[in-house]
Amino acid sequence: AQKITQTQPGMFVQEKEAVTLDCTYDTSDQSYGLFWYKQPSSGEMIFLIYQGSYDEQNATEGRYSLNFQKARKSANLVISASQLGDSAMYFCAMNAFEYGNKLVFGAGTILRVKS
Amino acid sequence: EAGVAQSPRYKIIEKRQSVAFWCNPISGHATLYWYQQILGQGPKLLIQFQNNGVVDDSQLPKDRFSAERLKGVDSTLKIQPAKLEDSAVYLCASSLDVKGRTDTQYFGPGTRLTVL
């Protein structure tokens, strides 16, 4: 079975500062993927970043980076230089090839960027 | 490249009525997913298709929900009859289906269903 835990229901960050959103996962699979999605109030789920379980380097996509610590089973999202448009719900998710690649999501973290 | 398309964006119905949602995946994506997202929760998979075959429908309430993907491209999800607890956002996603590795799913804008 797979499980994602996001322990921060809500976070505030000052504009232009960096913020870390926490995610821990549990799986017995050796091959899996970790994802972060952003969901603004409009409802669309926007793909941000992906980390494969065998990737040795932490993934980066523009202002987003994923702090992958395999031994601790954590996959935290770091957003640098926060912008007002970053205010949204953020979901951590994982899938595994052995389970047909279906995504298992955490409960989400609401991020609010203050000006 | 066009993204995942869904319609309608919003739907309000009364309980016991029926409703259908449509999804057109990204061109060339073999795998299509329907998720249900209840307010305040993460999405939950309802059904997964690979081409026009069902891969996983273990969490689909089959007494009232049905889904099809007849030609391996677009898909419809139907609820009949609807219950109050079906009020949710229904998200469609698609992925390329890369053999032997995990795959990124891209989501459509969702359909927000309200059952009164």
pLDDT digits (tens, 9 = 90+) for A6-55: 999 999 999 999 999 999 999 988 889 999 999 999 889 999 999 999 99
Task: Supply A4's token pair.
Answer: 């994602």
B42:A105 CB<8 A: yes
pLDDT of residue B104: 87
Residue A90 has a pLDDT of 98
Exposed, middle or buried: residue A71 (CB in 10 Å: 0-12, 13-18, 19+)? exposed
* Cβ <8 Å between A101 and B109: no
Identify whether the C-beta of residue B52 lies closer than 8 Å to the C-beta of residue B39.
no
The alpha carbon of residue A23 is apart from the nearest alpha carbon of chain B, in Å, by 13
- Strands B106-107 and B88-95 turn out to be antiparallel
- Residue B91: its pLDDT value, please? 97
Select from A47, A103, A110 the residue whose CB has the most chain B CBs within 10 Å, as the one to mutate to test that interface. Answer: A103
Q: How far is B28 from chain A (nearest CA, A)?
A: 17
| DSSP β-bridge partners for residue A46 | A38
Smallest Cα distance from B43 to chain A, Å = 6
Closest CA to A71 of A53, A83, A89: A53
* Mean pLDDT for chain A overall: 94
Give the model's confidence band at B97: pLDDT under 50 very low, under 70 low, under 90 confident, else very high: confident
Q: What confidence tens digit (pLDDT) does each residue in B28-81 have?
A: 999 999 999 999 999 999 999 998 899 999 999 999 999 999 888 999 999 999
Would you state the pLDDT for residue A2?
87
Amino acid at B103: D
CB contact under 8 A, A105 and B105: no
Has residue B86 got a pLDDT over 80? Answer: yes
